[in-house]
Each structure stands twice: as structure tokens, then as C-alpha cells.
Structure 1
Amino acid sequence: MTALPTVLLVDDEEHSLAAMRMALEDDFECLCAIGAEPAVALMEQQDVQVIFCDQRMPGRSGVAFLSEVRERWPETVRIIITGYTETSDMIAAINDAGIYQFLTKPWHPDALLMAAKNAADLFRLAREHDRMSLEMRLLSRTAESKLEWRRKELREGLGFENVLRAPNSPMNALIAQARQFASFDVPLLLTGEPGTGKTALARAIHYGSLRSDQPFHALNCVGAPDDQLQIELFGARRGALPGAPTNRIGLLQKADRGTLFLNGIETLSPAMQLCLLRVAAQGVYRPLGAHDEQTTNVRLLTGSNRDLRAEVADGRFRADLLYALSTAELSLPPLRARPGDVAVLAQHLLYELSSEHGKPVLGFSDTALEFLENYDWPGNLRELRNEVTRMLIFAQSSTLGPELISRHILQADPGEASMDRSAEAVLAGEGTLRDRVELIEKRILRETLTRLKWNKSRAAAELGLSRVGLRAKLDRYGVVSPHSVAADDTAEDEEER
């Protein structure tokens, strides 16, 4: 229910106050004061929209009181009540007190009520006007600084802070170099295995550059035929493509004055290498079906999964194109060479995927993170994202434990950090048959127990061993349960005795 407007009634005669109150109390919250001083006290305690004040009062007159109200509470609408003989004096005093209206005695109840309603509406409209004026000033300031705020927002949300890493990550030195190159408008070559985050780094370089308020576009060239790449990069004129009645805009035009990242350039054909060389060296290209060349002011960032110098030596890549594209080269390390980063990346991916799929979780258990950290991740960030997604799908509690991890990852013993942990490497490696079989057996034991939450009875049954035989193998290989489940393991042993 909406609160009634508050009206302050001021008079030195109680019967006049009672009469005014009776006329207004159905539509207003009425406060009464006998004289100016009690009225000031009420104003200091209450939020008053309208004042009705008698002119002739002992001590301070109505005009004198309303003049003070004008100074201290200018928003309050002021109405004075006067006798017929005082009207000429009141007209002169209206400006002094900023009086909205004056009523003459004897007043009619309907006239008093109408004056009160009009005054309350005036107060409300004045408040609305002030609010809208403030909003307009704020909108004006926002519009003036919109570009700068946009740049800041992009840099913070898509810049180098978005390249996640641990405090002591080997990525820190690479990011420091990338920051230096970002503000210099030169082409850069980013190298690294597939999935190491070359596109994310290219995007961060763009938003850390002077082109940050211009477009950023990325294109993966791997596996794309020449005709498709030409259309994607250079565009096509109307009629050059079947069923295309309009011009097709290419990425070189879309990214003009911005940044274009081309990944997988080691797969480009000799013809496409020549086309890209003209773009890199001269800033010109020809859309499909066009007779004239177009120019572009684009910053080229490129990525490669292979060593382009070796490709040049083997005659598969143009040396002049390599030099045109690589004022500097930044090499991204694989995930296996980033100790400590996997936990940070996995937690971030989990929260991101949790929000995306609407499945709230708290995080990983320490043991789960230990297994994730000790895996080699040949697929790098893509493989890590797939694994975290799979764990989230099968999670039954808010904390994701190691039993959710894929079997080939569980076979990586957390204590074997210095060893090659892949089963294929063990099978193809050196050593006696017994040593290699025992290493595989040890990994199978750890994987099975972890997947079954260290329930030894279930593990023994699955592996076709007796309880005693399983314990003998665990003792022989030194396989022990993690601290987080040690208490459950002890309780299980006691139950089976």
C-alpha cells in the first residue's frame, strides 16, 4: 500500500488546526504544530511534502517561518493562509518565502483539499524531475567515456589476465614478452603444440595493443582447401560464387585496422603462401572475381604447430614469408611443461562448465588434482577441457574425486613425476620383461583402487584376486591409499575381520 503524502499544519489556534486536519486526513498524513518553533522541530524529524501555515502567529510570522523552511528544506511546497486585510502585504512577501500559494480566510474545505493535492503533485513532479536530471547527467558522462570504458573492459576481460596460470608458471616469462610486443604494431609468430592456447594469447595481444577497440578475428587454416581459404580471407565479388547475389566480405576487410590471427599456416599451399606474402609485405589482396586489388591495414598474427625453420629447410615453406610474418616468435609450452598450471586451469574450467551446464559444484579433491597434475596431457588444453567436462557429467557430489578420472589418467602414479607415464612408453621402452610387467601391474592396481574409491573387496573381485593376494601386491609395490580415504580403508578392514 502506497504511503500517504505528509502535510504539516501550522497555526496558533487549536480549533483551526483541528478544522484543517478534518478536511485533509482522509488523503494525507497530517502533522500539527502550534507555532513556528514546534513546526521546525517536526520538520527536523519528519519528511514533509506540503506545509499549510497561518500568517499571524505570536512570535514568528508565517512568512518568517516559511523563509527558514525555504533555506533548509527547499523541496517542501509552502502554502500560507491569511486574512482578507493582509493580501496586499502577502503578495510582496511571496517572493521572500518562495510561497507556492496563499489561501484567504475563511477557506472552504474543498479549496483546502484541492490546494493540498496540487501541492503534493508538484512535490512529486519536482522529485521526478531531479531524478531524471541526475540520470541524464550520468548517462551523458557514460556516453562521453564509453570508448575508454570499453577498452578497459576488453583489456581486463580478454587481455593477458585471461591467460590463466599459477604464480610461478613458466608462462609468466612468455606473457611478459607478449606484453612488450603487444603495443608495437609488428607481426608475430606463435608456435606450440595443438591446444596450447595460441588463439587465446593472440586475442590477449590484440586487446593489449593500440588496436584494442578494433575487430579481432581468427581463422584456423588446417585442413581448409585453397578455394575456401581464399573466400574466407579475401572475400568474393557478386556473381563469383554460385547462388551468391551479393558481395562476400572476407576477414581481411572485416579485421581492417584490427587484428587477424591465422593459425596452422604451416599447412598452406605454395599458392596461398604467395597470396599471404603479398598481404604481409604490401597490404594488398584481390577478392575472388575482382579485377582490382584492395588494401588492408590489418595486424597479422600467425600460429604454427611445427617449426617453420625446419619447414623452410625442407622446402615446404617460403623463407620470405617466414621473415615477413615473424618479427618475433613466441613459443607456447605444452601443458606437461607447466607444473602447477593444471590445477588452476582445471578449477577455472570446472566453474565455467558448471555455470554453462547448470550443475553447481565446489571443486576437485586434493587427490583428484594430484592425478590431473601428474598426467602428460598430449592434447593439452583441449584434452583437459574434455576430461573436466566428463568428470562434471558423472559427478554425484559437489566435490569431484579421483574416481571420476579416466582410467588412462589414473594409471599415472603421482609419485612418478620424473618418469614417462604412458603405457605405450612402458611397452616400447627398455628394461627386463619382469620390470616392465610389474610397472604396468602397479599402474593397473592404482587405477582400479582409485576408481573404486579404495574398496579392496571390489577391487580384488574385479581383478580376480583374493583379498590376501591383493594386499600382498599392494605391499610389494608400495601402493597406499591417499590420506583422504585412509580412515574409510581402515574401517573396511575392521569390518571384514
Structure 2
Amino acid sequence: MPDPIQTVLVVDDEPHSVAAMRMALEDDFNVLEAANAEEAWRLMEDHWVQVLISDQRMPDKTGIELLTEVRDRWPETVRIIVTGYTETNDMIQAINDAGIYQFITKPWHPDQLLMAVRNATRLFSLARDHERITLEMRYLGNTASRKLEERRRIAQAGLGFDHVLRGPNSPLNATIGLARQYASFDVPVLITGEPGTGKTDMARAMHYGSLRADRPFFELNCAGLSDEVLAAELFGMKRGAVPGMAQTKVGLFQKADRGTLFLNGIDTLSDAMQIALLRIAQEGAFQPVGGHETLTTGVRLLTGSHCDLREKADDGVFRQDLYHALAVVELQVPPLRARGDDVAILAERFLHDIAQEHGKPVRGMAKPALDFLAGYDWPGNMPELRNEVTRMLILAQDMTLGPELISRHILQSGPKGATPVAGDVCRLEGTLKERVELMEMRILGETLTRLKWNKSKAATELGLSRVGLRAKLDRYGIEPHAAVSEED
């Protein structure tokens, strides 16, 4: 039975704009028209609308205002805005205020509009599937629940950029705003960022935000792989190409045909692998290891680099022609140290995921613990944060995890907003006496926090008397967190 035709509502006070959008969409969708927000609201009440497209500039109410109100009443409707504004700040504000799925800037092309609406209706269907699966899981037994959990995981992954965890004012919002636009265009994208910043999650979100969302997504980290292993993984291998190889191996370029392949760590590729990848990027052609026939692939290639690939290309370390073939557009994913407000959100999510995985009940993290985590630089980015949260969970004796569970080097960095000490003494300023006092103050704070403000234990560990410890605490004005009670 064919799927029912989906309904799209276009809102614009200019009749010729409405007519142009109708012409672009009417072959694929049931198109409703409104000249202002009031007419749009009435149509929303009378019809089941999957996608709402609104112009930003309208006389009675702006598009952002309309879409914000629609989100509150009909949150499942996917919202798109058409505007002449392209400033990043406007994009972030609109996304935060109205939960806008995508911006379409004027002048738009009919194919661009059609592609955006097709993606939006697919997102609507995935969200409905996810909702249905959630309800089903409440009533099914363990065997059925495991199968549905897999379907739910796929549905959640299909939600794309909504699956990338961040705060309302995160620096990542600007990157995601660009990624949403790039996702709809079937071109190679280079994603740069330090290891562990979430480049794979960004690539996966772009796949599920594209017209290839119903096709497979594969990813491979090239860093550390030899040319032989990498060639076999990417291009496949014919039976007998390697002694003991009993069967043909299918490579990722075949598996991901008409889907998306994300290759991370391409800055580590050898000259030979760069040439092989250039042929893929330019012609979509390759040969399996040990084979003589030329195969083709229609894969969309997304790549990731841990460093500035343009700089490596300028220095002659990376091929210029390959760089330009892979970097039609670029995305820069910020490191975790630049996302201070996101650390608490990520830590809480990691905690509950890990607790569920290991079957250990928790309530969450105390605010002082979150402040210490947010004050650290996280050179290892999200994997390091996840490891720290795992360690805290293992050591936890209470339902709420406190700062005393945090590793010493993180505690010595101080809570959010504190002057850094541990790990980089050279960053301190002032006289020698002032620097030593600051280090002493931080060590005192770290020791007492770790020992849950047991002053007897702290004095013994630091080689001080109780009186001497109290004098130093009074001198520096060090007091326990509100959530911690002092112990003798």
C-alpha cells in the first residue's frame, strides 16, 4: 500500500513567493497556503501538517515568532524558515527560539527547496516511528524489547543533529547550523577537530539529514592502520590475494554504495593511499586488492582530520588536489575546553548511560562536582570525560556523585572560573610569593575536597597540625562546598 501523500503548509505574505513554492512542491506533496500567521494557525488546526515553511518577514508576526508558537502546540511538525538573513547569530537565535530544522536563504532554487522538504518529511516519519517504538516497549517482554531497542536506536540516530548533545548557547550550535545546510547538498565535506571532539557524530548526523538517510552509513578511522589493512578495508580483497585468505572480502566502498562513508584521520594517509583515494573522489573508481577489474561506487565521502589539512597541503605534506577534492566545504568542530557550558550536560548523560550499562543506580552529580569538571581543559576531549565519569561511578558509594570522587589532577585545576595551576604552572602570574600561595591554596582545596573535608586526615596527609591547617584555611578563606559537611 503506497504511503499517504504528506502535507506541507507554506506561509508568506507575497503571493508570487507562495506560488513559486507551490510549483516546486505540488508534484510530491499536498500544499496548503497562508498569507499570514493567523491564516496559518487556522490551517494547522484543520489539517495534519508534517512540514511548515514560513517566510521570516511578515507584517503581523515574524516567521520565528510563528514557528515558536507552532512548536509549543504541534511539536512534531518540522519547521523550516525562508529568510534573507544569513548572519550566524541570527541562525543560532532562531534555532534556539523556534527549534527550526533548516534555514533556506533567498534566493532559493526549487531543487533546494524540494530536497529540504523531503528531508523534513523523512525526519517527521522517523520521529513518529521513535514515538511508536517507545510506547510499544512499555508493554513487550524482554525478547521483543531487545529487538525494539535496536529499532529505537536506529530511529534516534535518524534524528540526526538533535542527537548531538549540547547546551542552548553552545559554540557547537554554529557548526551544526552550517552542517544542516551542507547535509542537503551531495558534496564531500571535510570535518576538522581534535581527536575525541565528536567528528563521527557530526558525520552521522549529516548522513541522516541528507537524502541518503535510508541508505547505509559506515565509518573508519584511518589513523594507525597500515596501507595493506586500509586497502583491504576500503577496497575489498579477492580470494587468494593473501595466503590463507579463503574468501572474498567486500570493502567499505562497496558496502556504502549510494550511502555515506566517513573516513576519519585522513591526515595520516600515506602517499600511495592518497593517490588511491583521489581516484575515488574524482571518478568513483577503485580496484579490490588482488583484483584486476575496476569497480565503481556512488558513495558520498565525508572525511575527518585531526589537524589543519589546508596547512599540510600548503606545506606539501598532503596532496593539494586531494585536499580540494575532499574539502568542497569544511566544518570545524570545537574542542571540549571551548564548550565549558556543555561539560555538565555531557557528564550527566555519560553518567546515566554508563550507570544503565553496568546496572548501578545513581541520581546524578552534585553541583560542586560539575563545577570541577567544567573547570578542567580536557585535552583528551569527550573520551577523557567519559573515562572520568566511569571512574567516578565505580568509586561512588552514594546515589549522588560528589567532587571527592574526581581525579586529583582535575581537582587541582580548580572549579569553573578558577585560575589554572596544576599541569601548567607557567600560566600563573604575579610574584614568586603570590604564585606559591596560589599553588598552596589549590592543593589545600584539592586535598580537603578529595577527603570530604576530614581535617584530621588532610592535616596528616599534608604534614600539618590541626591548628596549622586551620590557620591556612582562615588565611586563604577556604570553605567547604555547601553540599559538604565538615568532619574532624
Aligned residues: 342
Residue 380 of structure 1 is matched in structure 2 by: 381
Taking a change above 3 Å as real, the CA distance of residues 377 and 452 of structure 1, as seen in their structure-2 partners, is: same
Partner of 1:209: 210
**How far, CA to CA, are the matches of 1:151 and 1:462 in structure 2?**
58
Q: Secondary structure at the match of 2:175?
A: helix
Correspondence 1:146-295 to 2 at 5 A: 149=126, 153=130, 154=154, 156-158=156-158, 159-295=160-296
Q: Distance in 2 between matches of 1:416 and 1:176?
A: 28
Is this contact kept in 1: 2:421–2:442, CA < 8 A?
no
1:383 CA drift (Å):
0.2
SS at match of 1:484: coil
Is the partner of 2:423 in helix, strand or coil? helix
What displacement does 1:230 show?
0.5
Cα RMSD after superposing both structures: 2.0
Say if 1:155 and 1:207, in contact at 8 Å, map to a contact too.
no
Q: Quick check: 1:192–1:304 contact (8 Å CA) kept in 2? A: yes
Q: Structure 1's 415 and 286: CA in aligned 2 closer, same or farther, altered over 3 A?
A: closer
Aligned residue identity for 1:215:
P
Tell me the distance in 2 between the aligned counterparts of 1:410 and 1:150.
Answer: 41
Equivalent residue of 1:316, what SS? coil
Change (3 A) 1:155 1:177: farther
How far apart are the structure 1 equivalents of 2:275 and 2:321? Answer: 10
Contact 1:151 / 1:212 at 8 angstroms: preserved in 2?
no
SS of residue in 1 equivalent to 2:243:
coil
| Equivalent residue, structure 1, for 2:345 | 344
Q: Is residue 2:415 matched to residue 1:408? A: no
Residues 151 and 213, structure 1, Cα contact 8 Å, conserved in 2: no
For residue 257 of structure 1, what is the amino acid of its counterpart?
R
Once residues 242 and 260 of structure 1 are traced to their aligned partners in structure 2, the CA distance between those partners, rounded to angstroms, is 29
For residues 387 and 149 of structure 1, what CA distance do their matches in structure 2 show?
34
Distance 2:268 2:476 in 1: 47
- Unaligned regions of 5+ residues in structure 1, if any? 1-144
Three-state SS of the structure 1 residue aligned to 2:298 is coil
Structure 1 contact 191–329 (Cα < 8 Å) conserved: yes
Quote how far apart the aligned CAs of 1:427 are: 4.8
TM-score (norm. length: structure 1)? 0.66
| 1:152 Cα deviation after fit | 5.9
Corresponding position: 1:448 with 2:447: yes
> By how many angstroms is 1:431 displaced?
4.7
Cα distance change of structure 1 residues 181 and 415 upon mapping to structure 2, 3 Å threshold: closer
CA contact 1:427–1:436 (8 Å) conserved in 2: no
* C-alpha spacing 1:236/1:195, structure 2 compared with 1 (3 Å): same
CA distance in 1, matches of 2:294, 2:270: 21
The residue type equivalent to 2:425 in the other structure is V
How many Å separate the matches in 1 of 2:416 and 2:291?
A: 63
Structure 2: which amino acid aligns with 1:282? Answer: E
**Aligned mates of 1:342, 1:357 — CA distance in 2:** 22
Amino acid across the alignment from 1:449: L
Cα distance between partner residues in 2 of 1:267 and 1:211: 28
Residues 46-66 of structure 1: CA distance to partner in whole angstroms, max 9, x if unpaired?
xxxxxxxxxxxxxxxxxxxxx
Q: Tell me, in whole angstroms, the C-alpha distance in 1 between the residues paired with 2:178 and 2:474.
A: 50
**Partner amino acid for 1:304?**
S
Amino-acid identity (%): 62
Contact 2:309 2:318 in 1 (8 A): yes
2:449 is the counterpart of 1:461 = no
**What 5-or-longer segments of structure 2 have no aligned partner?**
1-121, 131-153
User: How far, CA to CA, are the matches of 2:268 and 2:430 in structure 1?
Assistant: 39
**2:115 counterpart residue number:** none
4+ long deviations beyond 6 Å: none
Q: State the Cα distance separating 1:391 from its structure 2 match.
A: 0.4
SS of the aligned residue for 2:186 comes to: coil
User: Counterpart amino acid of 2:433?
Assistant: R
How far off its partner does 1:454 sit? 1.1
Distance 1:286 1:409 in 2: 50
In structure 2, distance between residues paired with 1:242 and 1:441 = 63
Q: Deviations over 1:386-412 (max 9, x none)?
A: 000000001101100101000001112
For residues 415 and 383 of structure 1, do their structure 2 counterparts lie closer, same or farther at Cα, with a shift above 3 Å needed? closer
Deviation at 1:242?
1.4
How far does the alpha carbon of each residue in 1:65-102 deviate from its partner, in whole angstroms, 9 at most, with x for none?
A: xxxxxxxxxxxxxxxxxxxxxxxxxxxxxxxxxxxxxx
Question: Which one has the largest radius of gyration?
Answer: 1
Q: Which residue of 1 aligns with 2:305?
A: 304
Flag the 1:167–1:430 CA change in 2: closer, same or farther, 3 A.
Answer: closer
CA positional deviation for 1:451: 0.5
> The residue matched to 1:189 in structure 2 has which SS?
strand
- Find the aligned partners of 2:250 and 2:422 in 1 and give their Cα distance: 49
Return the letter of the residue paired with 1:245: A
Shift of 1:149: 5.0
SS of 2:483 mapped into structure 1: helix
Q: 2:435 corresponds to which residue?
A: 436
Q: 1:321 to 1:247 in 2, by over 3 A?
A: same
Q: Which TM-score applies when normalising by structure 2? A: 0.67
SS at structure 1 position matched to 2:280: helix
Check if 1:335 corresponds to 2:336. Answer: yes
Deviations 1:248-305 (A, max 9, x none): 1001001111100000000001111010010011100111111121100000000001
User: Matched residue of 1:203: which SS?
Assistant: helix
Q: Supply the distance in 2 between the matched residues of 1:175 and 1:152 (Cα, whole angstroms).
A: 24
Contact kept? 1:236, 1:289, Cα under 8 Å: yes
2: CA distance, partners of 1:321 / 1:275: 10
Report the more deviating stretch, 433-442 or 269-278: 433-442
Which SS does the other structure have where 1:219 is aligned? strand
Structure 1 residue 201 displacement after superposition: 0.8
**Which amino acid is 1:157 matched to?**
A
